A and B are shown apart, each in its own frame.
Chain A
Amino acid sequence: MTLPVTQELSMEKENESWLRRLRLPNQPLARHLIFAFCGAGILFLVTSLLSPFNDYEVGEIALYVVALAGLSLLTGVNGQISLGHGAFMAVGAYTVALLMTHTQLNFLVELVLSIGAAAFLGLLIGIPATRLKGPYLAGMTLLLALALPPIADKWSTTFGGDQGLSTTVPTGPGTINPEEWLAWIQIIGALITLVLLANLLRSRFGRSFRAVRDDEIAASLAGIHVARTKVLAFVISAGCAGLAGAFLGLSTGVVNTGEFPLTLSIQLLAAMVLGGTGSLMGMWWGAVLLVYLPQWSTSLSTHFSLGSGASAYLATIIFGVVLIVVMIAAPTGVQGGFRWMWQHIASLLAGQHATSSSASELSDDAVQSLPTK
């Protein structure tokens, strides 16, 4: 989407900042791909420098980004709260595990089928969900998170019961560390997901999502099919969670119901809020917190010589405190906070006063609707 020529020219005249020299293309797809490649470059460099365990954790961060990005789209951009994404992750994980156990399909095909299975469940849930809003929708998705995993326990012969079903990561090239190779797979998955979602949010669909979130009646009057839009958001979001679940199954090596408790769904929601509801890139912050917070609090408690029991609870306490602090200091999440900070710094560099905090770019991760004038 290009801006009118007059606007472009006026912008060029006004901005004398050195940042202008970074001439990025106007095409969203091209922009997103460039960011993705830059991100890939940075992350591949980082993983090759890190130890195997840290590679494993970077991979975990990437897989949570996939889940959180989908949730951010559903809740932030489309306004539907979901407390049940753990269940979609479970579907993705069990699908990939079942396929690996019983078939010899290509790995990518298995991943696509996992996404499909979770997306199909998203369709089944999304249709009745169109009638619900707010706490009622949250309650329904909560039920899903509670009720779905025990189904695998009931049919334990098919689903492996406590011992679960095992997954195998396809062998990597050369003599690469298995942890590093898995991290690459997960990172590529995360970047592809982010590019696709970013493009989606910049498109007609993204605008429909936001319109439906902001005012269903107005959207409907504008010709948007509200129910279809909501279901589509659910399906896409569930598909992302399915891919994340498949990646989680690969990370763990075994898929069983213990990996998808209710706390997972709640942690996903909290991490999404922390990262920035509606933001895509902000999900990296949420994922980092999810993966590293338990370890940071363990290190903290070892530093203060608290017992092992206390350190376990410390993680939960710190998570709660961080959530409260971020909500007070940066209600739009960490990403929103950084965006606000950067705008102020950047405008100072450009020698202009920062406008009110409602100023925002036409970015792939913007939450706000498009200008009306």
Chain B
Amino acid sequence: MRDTKHTSMGRGTRAVVTGAMGIALAATVLSACSSTPKAATNTPGVTSNSISIGATVPLTGPAAPGYDEIAPAMNAVFGWVNAHGGVNGRKIHYTYLDDGYNPANTATLTRKLVLQDKIFADVGSLGTPTQAAVQVFLNTQKVPQLFIESGCDCWSNPKYPQSYGWQPPYTVEGKILGAYIKTKFAGKKVGYLTQDDEFGQDFIKGLDQEIPSASVVSRQTYDAATLAGPLSNQVAALKAAGAQVVAMATIPAATALAMLPAAAIGYQPQYVISSVGSDPPTVGPLLSSFTQKGGGTAAQATATAGLLNGVITDSYFAPESEVSNPWVQVEKKLLNDYAPSLYAKYGLDGNTQYGVALAYTFVEALQAAGKNLTRAGFLASMANSGKNFVTPGFVPPSYSNSVHFGFEGAEVIKLSSATSPAVTPTGSWIGGTPVTSVEVTDTGSGPVTKYTGATSTPPKTLVATS
């Protein structure tokens, strides 16, 4: 059995082992230190010929499909910029790390980027819970938290002056789509199907400001974390309540998982879907694959693309199906030239467009900040010139001293098989045409009004040669 002869040796052994482990632990920790940060000027992440920025995005896990295209697409723009001498002579180095949509990982990785890699700013990180987890840290460290990939209206908060949103807040989208439902579908019964979190709640806040509450006959929700199969219960409830219009704040997977059971029970309401979950090259393949997983034939799977016909959604830059639009052409060229493998895999879809547009915004901001680059100066120039940034968006960003939201406007579009399709490597997808002009509003109780400013065109060269 037990050999007691070794016991006292064991105690001493243990002491040495403890000590050895402690030293091993220390050695492990010390050896894990990354390489020395770049030679710095007074501003972290900035040297005379480079600027280093970072982000945390989901590259693995359930949130990854689609969203993992955005950061590489941003690099296409930065690739063009670096090939043309950089901004004010500085090349842009973009490091994006995978947080798997887990805020605990975001907290660690963001600290790594700020404390160890000494980035100038956190640009284009994704997610509401993930970015909320680092908002206090970044603001305390006075590191700009720029162009957060989330429509939460918490990013424009005077308590956190380093934080900036970019995409239209969900409340703004809800108001714009709600105003359309109010005018176009007056008197019809409306049902809501929303994600059971900030995204859905903010969207409903916007919808409720425009749609009279008497018209809303059903409010269904789903939980993104446990989304595993068709949302049959929610769809059945909407049908039972007689909703003729269904307003949806759904991620692409949930859009597909709602439309399929609805089609199966012969329920064909007018869908009005947030831009988050309506991009045809993203939703189309999901409709098809879910059908096949559910036991459908290949023919049935292909036919599901038709479910998107007639869907109303919103867009804040020219959709990929508008092939003659100069922005769309520029975006395709940039991706093809500087991110060829990404473009070969996904083409120009909602996610790669998003990445290109966001990167444009950052480059514009970097240019406006001038040669003498500091964090405070960068943010000051954003507040001053934000409204003049030339981006693919229909409206210029709203950045000012008091507002840290990006785009607060969009147009309502209708997906229609009559329009020219968006052709991507994954297939040919239904395109959209505008059914309203560009409209603007705020996250508060202001009205939805028509945008009367100018539409931007792509600049001849992205950056001024210095």
Interface string of B191-206 (1 = CB under 8 A from A): 0000011110100000
* Contact between B103 and A252, CB atoms less than 8 A apart: yes
B residues at A contact (CB < 8 Å): 1-19, 21-23, 25-26, 28-30, 32-34, 59-60, 68, 71-72, 96-98, 100-105, 107-108, 111-112, 115-116, 127-130, 132-137, 152, 154, 196-199, 201, 223, 225-226
* Contact between A339 and B11, CB atoms less than 8 A apart: no
The number of residue pairs between A and B whose CB atoms lie closer than 8 Å in the complex comes to 238
* Contact between B132 and A31, CB atoms less than 8 A apart: no
Contacts A57-B108, A60-B108 given; indicate if A38 touches B136 (C-beta within 8 A): no
* Contact between B108 and A56, CB atoms less than 8 A apart: yes
Find chain B residues with CB under 8 A from A163 CB.
128-129, 132, 152, 154, 198
* Contact between A38 and B19, CB atoms less than 8 A apart: yes
Interface size on A (CB < 8 Å)? 94
Interface SS majority for chain A: helix
Spot the interface stretch: A204-212, A225-233, A359-367: A359-367
Contacts A53-B111, A363-B10 given; indicate if A254 touches B136 (C-beta within 8 A): yes
Interface residues of A in 40-88 (CB under 8 A from B): 42-43, 45-46, 49-54, 56-58, 60-61
Closest to B98 in A: A312
Closest to A368 in B: B2
Minimum CB–CB distance from B111 to chain A (whole Å) comes to: 6
User: Looking at the complex, which one of A253, A258, A313, A360 makes contact with B136 (CB distance below 8 Å)?
Assistant: A253
Closest to A259 in B: B104
Find chain A residues with CB under 8 A from B22 CB.
38-39, 42-43
* Contact between B11 and A22, CB atoms less than 8 A apart: yes
Find chain B residues with CB under 8 A from A164 CB.
103, 129, 132-133
Find chain A residues with CB under 8 A from B116 CB.
51, 53-54
* A309 to B66 CA separation, bound complex (whole angstroms): 12
* A14 to B225 CA separation, bound complex (whole angstroms): 62
Closest to B75 in A: A308
Question: Would you give 22 A-B contacts (Cβ < 8 Å), ordered by A?
Answer: A35-B14, A39-B18, A39-B22, A53-B116, A153-B225, A156-B197, A161-B201, A162-B152, A163-B128, A164-B132, A251-B108, A256-B133, A258-B102, A261-B102, A263-B102, A292-B32, A295-B112, A309-B59, A338-B17, A342-B17, A361-B14, A373-B1
Find chain B residues with CB under 8 A from A161 CB.
197-198, 201
Minimum CB–CB distance from A90 to chain B (whole Å) comes to: 11
* A261 to B26 CA separation, bound complex (whole angstroms): 30
Find chain A residues with CB under 8 A from B152 CB.
162-163
Closest to A356 in B: B3
* A279 to B60 CA separation, bound complex (whole angstroms): 32
Spot the interface stretch: A106-114, A235-243, A320-328, A343-351: A343-351
